[in-house]
Structure 1
Amino acid sequence: MQTHPAKRVEIVIEEVMQRRLTDTLLKAGVTGFTVLPVRGGSGRSGLWSRAGQVGRAGGMVAVMCIVRADRLDALLEAAFAVVETHIGLVSVTDCDVVRADRF
């Protein structure tokens, strides 16, 4: 089966910023994404967990999307404009997709 090169972008950000981020990605031309809850992790501030938190304020989500390489810069600029002033990270990896017409 033939595959096609693409870029997978994962953005971990505070849950309260999810809508702002996804709206920004759509305006930047991203045609699809997946949002997943993040249960916990460790970073500069040490270990953290979603367990025992009240409300949405302390939660994190991971927003994942796959784009063609020629759309990557616009996506990263849009994402960084949101993530820059908040807790979060952005990572990019190479991937292959089977249905290139969807990206």
Structure 2
Amino acid sequence: MQQHDAKRVAIIIEAIMESRLRQALETAGVTGYSVLPVLGGSGRSGAWSRDDTFTRGGGMVQVICIVRPDRLDELLDAAFSVVDSHIGVVTISDCKVLRAERF
């Protein structure tokens, strides 16, 4: 089966910012993504848990997008328009997809 190069972008952001991030991505032409709850973690502000939602505004979510390499900069510009002024982490990794026409 033929494999095609793609980029996987994972964005961890405060749950209250999810709709703003999704809107920015859709405006940039990103038509597919998955949203997952983040159960907890540790970072610059220390350890936290999703159970600590009172002080964390509902916790964190991870938004995962897979795009063609030539669409990466547009996706990152959209993501950073939201993430840059809020708590968030953006990672990029290479991946392979089987049905390139879907990305």
| Structure 2: tracts of 5 or more residues without a match | none
Q: How does 1:14-93 map to 2 (within 5 A)?
A: 14-54=14-54, 57-93=57-93
Give the count of matched residue pairs. 103
RMSD over equivalenced CA pairs, Å: 1.4
DSSP-derived class of the 1:81 partner: helix
Q: Show structure 1 runs of 4+ deviating over 4 A.
A: none
Distance 1:49 1:96 in 2: 32
**Mapped partners of 1:55, 1:48: distance in 2:** 10
Identity %: 63
Taking the aligned partners of 1:37 and 1:46, their CA distance within structure 2 comes to 19
For 1:73, the aligned partner's letter is D
Tell me if the contact between 2:52 and 2:59 (Cα under 8 Å) persists in the aligned partners. Answer: no
Please, which moves more after superposition, 61-70 or 44-53?
Answer: 44-53
Deviation of 1:77 (Å): 0.6
Partner of 2:2: 2
Unmatched 5+ stretches in structure 1: none
Distance 1:77 1:2 in 2: 30
Give the drift of 1:56. Answer: 7.4
Task: Identify the range of structure 1 (85-94 vs 55-64) with the bigger mean alpha-carbon deviation.
Answer: 55-64
Q: Where do residues 88-103 of structure 1 align in structure 2 (5 Å cutoff)?
A: 88-103=88-103
